[in-house]
Amino acid sequence: MTAQEVNQLLDKLPVLRQEIGKIIVGQQEVLDEVLITLLAGGHGLLEGVPGLAKTLLVRTLASAVDLPFRRIQFTPDLMPTDILGTEVLEEDHTTGKRFFQFNEGPIFASIVLADEINRTPPKTQAALLEAMQEFEVTYAGKTYPLPRPFFLLATQNPIEQSGTYPLPEAQLDRFLLYIKIQYPTELEEISVLKSTTGGAREKVQPILSGPEILTLQSLVREVSISDELVAYVARLVRATRPEDTQVPFVQDFVRWGAGPRAGQALILTAKARALLQGRFAVTLPDLHTMAYPVLRHRILVNFSAEADNITTDKVVEELVKGVELPREVLR
């Protein structure tokens, strides 16, 4: 691509954010993290109490990009075949022969919303693992590729525990970012009330196509990061592990630290954040900003932390303070 073509493509990112902003009021940090997940080619887990527009955000994003969208409502009786698809017996009317035909499930879309993912048992949750990691589905010994780009966003409610099945740590690790949605500010809430109780509704126009998103995902990997920052990422991730860390807070309150996938996720999302802001080099604030959604679901705190209401975000905060910073980096 020429420099002009790259700039034209990057100029569409602020327009994409504006289109989504027609429907989604505020929540800029959440929107940025969702777009970063998309640009980095990963998947996101959205957590928030009911009524914070989690589902609406994903639907609006799907409208702002010209890609097929499917929503899967996760319930206790949902089966893996309800997600992946199933084989049905068909008959060739010309020859009279019967054969099995695979009917694709809702996972065969470019943007998939797994709504309330923690309401279905682990057997059904695990049906997403191959799709999230390998971008393909295996059924009856045959492998079917998923459309590209493939972007899965799952939602869950943090306050309801009855009738839910918390995601196992191995599956949580497959999500690039763990995105927490907070309550809106007073002014944002007033704006929401005005915009959603009137007659006129804004219409979102598609801004990016599938090939353009794939090009942006390739550009993300071309964003530069210095060797000093890569070494800092390695130190930061290794410091989450109680047996390797020099941070007393981690030694006291962490039971299990993050694996190498966390470092990969941190670098990729920092690159995506830089590109989203029109930069072609990662800075230290990129890493510090993305450390929270990257690490909060990859660190397990111990009983002492749970007793003292110490969250993984607090652990990340102490890590950022306690791990030695690189000496000469972009700030």
Identify the pLDDT of residue 179: 92
CB-CB contact of 3 with 21 (8 Å): no
Mean pLDDT, range 300-314, rounded to an integer = 89
What would you report as the CA-atom Rg of the chain, rounded to the nearest whole angstrom?
A: 21
CA separation for the pair 112, 59 (Å, rounded): 10
Share above pLDDT 70 across residues of the chain, in percent, rounded to a whole number: 97
Mean pLDDT, range 19-33, rounded to an integer = 84
Which pTM was predicted? Answer: 0.87
Q: What would the pLDDT profile of 60-92 be if each residue is shown by its tens digit?
A: 888 888 888 999 999 888 898 888 888 887 777
Task: Tell me what the pLDDT averaged over the chain comes to.
Answer: 87
Mean pLDDT, range 1-30, rounded to an integer = 84
Return the beta strands (E) in 48-176 as ranges: 65-66, 69-73, 85-91, 98-104, 111-115, 136-139, 142-145, 151-156
Confidence of residue 330 (pLDDT cuts 50, 70, 90): low
Sort 210 into a burial class: Cβ within 10 Å, 0-12 / 13-18 / 19+.
middle
Identify the pLDDT of residue 329: 61
Q: Which two tokens stand for residue 133?
A: 């990691």
Mean pLDDT, range 237-259, rounded to an integer = 89
CA distance readout (Å), 216 to 38, 147, 285, 307, 322: 9, 17, 22, 44, 34
Q: Write the class of the CATH domain 3-211.
A: alpha beta
Identify the pLDDT of residue 328: 65
Residues of the chain with CATH 1.10.8.80: 224-325
CA separation for the pair 121, 126 (Å, rounded): 9
Confidence of residue 99 (pLDDT cuts 50, 70, 90): confident
Identify the pLDDT of residue 17: 87
CATH of domain 224-325: 1.10.8.80
Calculate the CA 127 to chain-centre distance: 17
Mean pLDDT, range 123-137, rounded to an integer = 88
Residues of the chain with CATH 3.40.50.300: 3-211
284-295 and 260-276 helices, crossing angle to 10°: 130
